[in-house]
Amino acid sequence: MPDVGESAPSFSLLNQKGERVELKDFKGRKLIIYFYPRADTPGCTTEACGFRDDWAEFEEGNIGVVGISDDPVAKVAKFHAKYNLPFDLLSDEGGKVGEMYDSYGEKKMYGKTYMGVKRNTYVVDSKGKIIQTYFKVKVADHSKKLLEDLRN
């Protein structure tokens, strides 16, 4: 698991348009990497729309945002379009990037064990170092909490 002060694990994933997006594309600016379990579910929609609704503040702060799930590109694209999201959603089928960020692995629900995405967020500085981490994120006002923490 990457800790605060360590370099963010490099990634190269396809976005909602099928275009490759890499960590290095954000060099020189802060980046929020948030992992979400499933496109177009209530919690994931609340979280994504929070970032969308606060987008002007992220842009003012020169802060990039990417959402990562293990959904295929087609599902990510549909979710992105449905909610008119202004940032990239990335497809991590198989969870390899999620594993590097301790955000993919064994989960339990209703007595069943399965592999899936854990709702975690990482803030990366302009040099690629992790400066903040959030685990088991509560989706309500997550975007506003990040903005507040980044101001302080």
Q: Give tens-digit pLDDT for 93-116.
A: 999 999 999 999 888 878 888 889
- Residues of the chain scoring pLDDT < 50: none
Q: How far apart are CA 38 and CA 76, in angstroms?
A: 9
pLDDT number for residue 55: 98
Amino acid at 14: L
Note the pLDDT of residue 110. Answer: 87
- Topology, domain 27-151: Glutaredoxin (3.40.30)
The overall longest dimension of the chain from CA atoms, in Å, is 45
Q: Rounded to an integer, what distance in angstroms lies between the CA atom of residue 152 and that of residue 102?
A: 26
Where in the sequence numbering do the catalytic residues fall? Answer: 44
pLDDT at 70: 97
**C-alpha separations of 119 from 11, 39, 134, 139, 143 in Å:** 18, 12, 9, 9, 13
Structure tokens at 56: 């002007």
Q: Which pLDDT score is estimated for 106?
A: 87
Pair of tokens at residue 10: 């490099």
